[in-house]
Structure formats: structure tokens, C-alpha cells
Amino acid sequence: MTAVATYRYLRPSTLRPDGLALQTSGGPVANPRFFSGFLTTPRPAAAGLLAVAEVARTRYHRPVDRSSLDPVVTGSRDRLRFESFSGCCGVYARLDALPAGIDGEIVGHGTTNVDVNPPLREALARVAGIDPLHLAVGPDDLTVSTLDGAVVEKKVPLPERWLRGFAEVHVMSSTFAARAEVSATEAAGFLRRLPAAGSDRSVFWVVPAGRTLRLTARPTPGAVCLVGAGRLAALRGLVRFAKTLRLYGPTVVAGSPAMPSTWELDTGELRLSLTLSPEPYRGFSGEGAALTSLAGEHVVEDAELVSALLSWDPTIDVDALARVAAIDTHRIRAALAQLGTAGRVGYDVSEAAYFHRVMPYHAERAERDNPRLVAARALVATDAVELDGAAATVRGGDGPYRVRTQPDGRQSCTCAWWAGHRGQRGPCKHALAVLLVRAAANRPADGPEVPA
């Protein structure tokens, strides 16, 4: 399913003699202005912006003719964040311009699309020198379009799965921990040694080996998964300016299947991260990582409360939110997952913290964009779930299914979905229905849901 996104810019983004002028579209106002000041490291900043733009116009799985989706930019108190997804939704890129990387004033808070057009990309590739580069994010004068003629307008097919990726990637990356760190010199050598793009779909595992990184064919504790090594190509432009490369991923044990990972270059003033889906053919939008959190009974109400408490802080303190909202951290994280479906929350693995953004999506998308959750609620509504201790029977359209819950909370099901994915792409509709029924059964008759 696709929609058409219309981006309206007052003029094209350009690199002028007096600095870099990025045009914005939509958001808090029609063409918001977020920042006016200087980039303290022009060449690395240009390389980072090019990397985010490159991901936005690339399909790493089954490449086709390129069509670019404009990256989004968030102004948030003391930093700027530029984000994009690849056309196949299997790579998420983010460039964070940190306080040391900008010298100026965040004059507005919000999130909007930013125009990174072909002429601007060519100009960014030629940025040289060491003097700070002036940057304006948003038009200097909202009436300036009358001097230059018609507003620049782009109409771009925007797949629903690209939008859903924002919700999934932040839930998945919130389980990551730092697994390895190497110098930029070692990182450059490692990137050069990687298999060529499109050469195969072998599952590699990356482990620290002294001062460098080594590829292995088997998962071991502390390893980070890498499938589709060509998807790291966008790092190459910034690696020469970086100080370190850090790798993040979920917990790995012997026998682990392919997993997502984050690769982050840090210059000290900027951080460029690429988050890769478990396999090139798997877009983040179909991973189902957010489904369990979205199934909570009070998640919509909790999300509304948490949303009112967010204030564009560079990072979100979950414990502080729990104290102010007077609900436990489990429900806070579920509420943040719900807000993620509306594009209101992201996750920064470097700081192990959520951050606030606002995109033009609505919270009610959570149900519409997750058909497994819709189907699970329908099963509950028709009394199709019968609990039996740690197991349950769910009557589906083509026969009953057995759902079993392990002591650690993991579920299994006898349906074809679970047989095909073995729990690696989120719960099936039957397991979700059991979660909903158990939550209702554990709730006191005259009180709120018992926290998990």
C-alpha cells in the first residue's frame, strides 16, 4: 500500500558562498526554521549529510531505479538529527550533529522533511577547507518565495512500510548494547575487506580481535551480526574523519539466528549510525518488534500522558517519566513504543536513551498499520481464546492452534506463521490474542492492569 507525500519547499536547498541553506517542508509550521549558526567541522558534516541522503535514495534489496525520499531533520534543544530509511526499509541512517559540532542557536523544535537535492549533493561532495561553514535549517524569510517564483514541490510515492519502520527500529535498537569499538584506521581497513555488495547473503558475525574486528561464520557471545555487508557502504565517506567505529547489537548466544545491528562512526562533533535489518530482504516494517508492547490494555492512555510530558530534551529519562506519570517503567516503555508508531520517539544507542521527535503521522496508525494486532483483537472479541495454565487454545478459521508460554515469557504457536519465522518477526496473531486475554485475566475487577 502506498500514499503520496507532497513536499513543498520555498526554494531548493543550496550551498551558497555564504553557507549551506537547507529548506524544510511541513512540521510545526509550513516551512519551519530550526537552526542558524555554523557547522564546526564542514567536511565531515557534508560527508555525513551525503550518507543520510544516499541511504534515502537506495534500495539494497532488489535494486531498482533510484527514487529519493527526503530525509527528515529534528531540531531538539542542543542538537540536530538527520534521519532516513532506505527504499527497501532495511537500512536506517541517522546523523546527529552534537553540541560540539554546531555553533549557533536552535531557534525552533520539531521534525520535518529537509530538501537534499541532486545539485546540493554534488555541492556537498566538493566542500573543502577547515573554516566553519554557516548553516541555516529552514528559510531565512518565509516570504522569500515571492522573489524567486513558484514554490518547489515534490510528489513522492511513500510506502506505508517505510513509515512503520520508524516504530520498529526504535523498539529493536532499545535492546542493543555496545559490543565492540575500534579506531577509525582499523574501521577503514575492516570496511575495505568486507565482501562486495550483492556478492552473497551469507550470515557473518563480527567479533573484536585485538585492536581490530574479525568475521566469523558462527554466532558467539558478544558478536554482532552482519548480513549484506554492502549495506555499510554509506559509512565510507565519513570514516576518514572519524575517531572510532562502535558496534551495537542484541544479546547473541550459540545458535542465534540473524539479528539486527547498529554501526556508528563518531567524530566527536558528529555521529553517523547505520542500523541494519537482520537480512537484506527483511525491511524493518515487517519485524513485529513493537507488537507485544502495543497489545497492552492501557497503552493508548499511557501514550497520551507520556506525550504531554515530552519536552524536546535531547534524551528521554524513562525513570523520571515513570515518577512523574506515576506508572511503572514497563508501561512507560510500552507507551514509548505506541508513540513510536506515530513517529514521536526514536532511540539513540550511543546514549542508550530515547529522544523526542514529531512526524506527521497519527497514533491511530498503530492499529491500522499492524494487521496482526487487529486480527488478535478480533479473536479476543469472538471468545476464540481458551486459557489452559501456561498454554492456550486459539480457534482460528482453519482449525485450533496451541500457544505455549515459557517461564521466561517466550511464546510458541502451532500456526504456519510461527513455523515459518520461529518467533523472529514478532508474535503471531494467536500469541497476541493470548497476551490480551491474560492481561485482562490478571487485572483486578475494580482496578488497573497489574504491571508485568
Q: What is the pLDDT of residues 150-181, one digit of tens each?
A: 577 787 766 566 667 887 888 889 899 999 99
For residue range 184-228, what is the model confidence (pLDDT) as tens digits?
999 999 999 998 655 557 899 999 999 999 999 999 999 999 999
**Looking at the DSSP assignment, which residues form a beta bridge with residue 274?**
93, 263
pLDDT at 448: 43
pLDDT exceeds cutoff 80 at 437: yes
The mean of the pLDDT values for the chain is 84
pLDDT at 364: 54
CATH T-level fold of 170-286? DNA Polymerase III; Chain A, domain 2 (3.10.150)
More confident residue, 361 or 370: 370
Give exposure, 186-221, as e/b (b: 16+ Cβ within 10 Å): bbbebbeebeeeeeeeebbbbbbeeeebebeeebee
The predicted structure's pLDDT at residue 369: 63
**pLDDT for position 294:** 66
pLDDT value of residue 210:
92
Locate the domains of the chain by residue range.
2-159, 170-286, 302-369, 370-452
| 430-451: average pLDDT | 68
Please report which confidence band the pLDDT of residue 130 belongs to, taking 50, 70 and 90 as the band edges: confident
- Whether the pLDDT of residue 94 is over 90: the answer is yes
Reported confidence tier of residue 80, pLDDT bands at 50, 70, 90: very high
Range from 21-25, 125-129, 332-336, 360-364 carrying the lowest mean pLDDT: 360-364
Evaluated on CA atoms 417, 423, 429, 430, the torsion sign reads positive
Answer whether 98's CB lies under 8 Å from 44's CB: no
pLDDT of residue 451: 41
Distances (CA, A) of 71 to 5, 343, 366, 376: 13, 14, 22, 34
| Angle of the 429-441 helix axis to the 371-381 helix axis, nearest 10 | 50
Give residue 383's pLDDT band: very low, low, confident or very high (50, 70, 90).
very high
**What is each CA distance from 124 to 53, 68, 272, in whole angstroms?**
11, 17, 16
> Looking at the domain 302-369, which fold is it?
Arc Repressor Mutant, subunit A (1.10.10)
Q: What CATH code would you report for 2-159? A: 3.10.150
**Cα–Cα distance between 6 and 321 in angstroms, integer?**
35
pLDDT for position 59: 83
Angle between helices 318-325 and 329-340 (to 10 degrees): 110
Distance of CA 214 to the CA centre of its chain: 27
pLDDT at 449: 45
pLDDT bucket at 140, cuts 50 / 70 / 90: confident
Please tell me if the domain spanning 2-159 has the same topology as the one spanning 302-369. Answer: no
Percent of the chain with pLDDT over 90: 44
CA neighbor of 205 nearest in space, from 223, 183, 230, 186: 223
Res. 45: pLDDT tops 60: yes
**Per-residue confidence (pLDDT) for residue 253, from 0 to 100:** 92
At residue 446, the pLDDT reads 44
Q: What percent of the chain has a predicted confidence (pLDDT) above 70?
A: 85
The band of 259, judged by pLDDT with boundaries at 50, 70 and 90, is very high
